[in-house]
Amino acid sequence: MEGSRQRLALVTGSSRGIGKAIALRLAALGHKVVINYLSHEDEANEVVRAITDQGGKAIAVRADVTKADDVEAMFRRALELGPTVEILVNNAGIIHDSLLVRMSDDTWDQVIDINLRGSFLCTRAALRNMLRNRWGRIINVGSVVGMVGNPGQANYAASKAGLIGFTQSVSKEVASRNVTVNCIAPGYITTDIVESLPKDLKDRILGRIPLQRFGQPEEIAGLVAYLVGDEASYVTGQVWAIDGGLSIS
């Protein structure tokens, strides 16, 4: 089937954590993958080696997703692997927590720029050829915090809630061209950030999660694998919470 052939994927922020797991899963499916990073070059190159050692194709590209020129240059570099990016995963994001009354302008702007503006710039760049070719898969990695909020994360919650609205709006704009746009909203996933939390805080968080555990990056990657395949060709504009039941507890 058309959606099952080898395609070119670009995953932002994929040198580690959830992005790395997504990149590895897409490569395992036979897709060529652009590994985007900003400051973790060694880790990005390790992901590329892991893919190429298994016979796959990948390159690492440094780009600041908040800068339009960087994004355009990254999409040009992607052409080293194929004629056009057909799968885009907007995963790059940061957390910079603070109570709102103490939050600086820079702290607000930085989180919004990377988490939301970055997705806008990359999506706009990818859509040009997706619309022309009448095929594309765009997956935005949001957060359950964008659905339910969290004290001390007004900037992060706003960026991720914005990503949900962005997903739903763009999905309606491009559906007639066979381009789907979906959003995954992870809860607490075992990444460097979660691992660095104090034990007492981890215990309190676990007490709020019905499944009583943190998620794994591979569980996010599994949903991405579904959404880029033929079986999900009728799925667009949706928000998928992978949070152990946190958002409904």
Provide the annotated active-site residues: 156
Q: How far apart are CA 100 and CA 187, in angstroms?
A: 22
Phi, psi of 153 (to 5 degrees): -130, 40
Is there a contact between 37 and 13 (Cβ–Cβ < 8 Å)? yes
CB 146 within 8 A of CB 185: yes
With b meaning 16 or more CB within 10 Å and e meaning fewer, what string describes 45-82? bbbbebbeeeebbbbbbbbbbbeeebbeebbebbeebb
Burial bucket for residue 205 (CB in 10 Å: 0-12, 13-18, 19+): middle
Q: Which two tokens stand for residue 165?
A: 């609205």
